[in-house]
Amino acid sequence: EAGVVQSPRYKIIEKKQPVAFWCNPISGHNTLYWYRQNLGQGPELLIRYENEEAVDDSQLPKDRFSAERLKGVDSTLKIQPAELGDSAVYLCASSLAGGNTGELFFGEGSRLTVL
C-alpha cells in the first residue's frame, strides 16, 4: 500500500517568491493534515481537512498561506510571498475519518529554505 506522497522533497527560493507543496494521502483516508516542523521542534498543525472541507485552519497564517483540497483527495499548500521565517519542513499526514483514536500517517515532508 502506498503511503502519503509529498512533493517536492526540497525547495530553495528567495524571499518574496511563491512556493507550493503537493500531497497525496493514503487511499481511503478522508482526513488530511498539513503540519509545519521548525528545526528542533515538534510538528505544529497548520490546517486539517475532512474530505474537501477545511475544518480547522486556526493556525494557518492566512495573509500569506493558502491551501486547497478540491476533490477531497490530494491537497496543495501555497505560500505567497515567502519570508525567511517560513524555512521549515512542511509535513502532510492523513488518517481515517472521524474520532481521536486513529494514528496519523505522515509523508516524508517538503523542506523549504528561504534565502
Partner 1 sequence: AQSVAQPEDQVNVAEGNPLTVKCTYSVSGNPYLFWYVQYPNRGLQFLLKYITGDNLVKGSYGFEAEFNKSQTSFHLKKPSALVSDSALYFCAVRAFSGYSTLTFGKGTMLLVSP
Residues that bind partner 1 (CB under 8 A): 4, 40-45, 48, 55-56, 91, 93, 100-101, 103-109, 111
The CA distances from residue 7 to 70, 101, 115, in Å, are 18, 28, 20
Question: Phi/psi class of residue 55: alpha, beta or left (left: φ > 0; alpha: ψ in -120 to 50)?
Answer: alpha
Q: Which is nearer to partner 1, 74 or 108 (CB)?
A: 108
Q: How far is the CB of 38 from partner 1 (least distance, A)?
A: 10
Bridge partners (DSSP) listed for residue 77: 21, 67
Separation between Cα atoms, residue 87 and residue 48, nearest integer Å: 21
Residue in 17, 2, 26 with CA at minimum distance from that of residue 78: 17
Q: How far is the CB of 44 from partner 1 (least distance, A)?
A: 8
Q: Which is nearer to partner 1, 9 or 16 (CB)?
A: 9
Q: How far is the CB of 81 from partner 1 (least distance, A)?
A: 27
Bridge partners (DSSP) listed for residue 32: 49, 94
Q: Which is nearer to partner 1, 27 or 100 (CB)?
A: 100
Q: Which is nearer to partner 1, 27 or 101 (CB)?
A: 101
Q: How far is the CB of 69 from partner 1 (least distance, A)?
A: 17
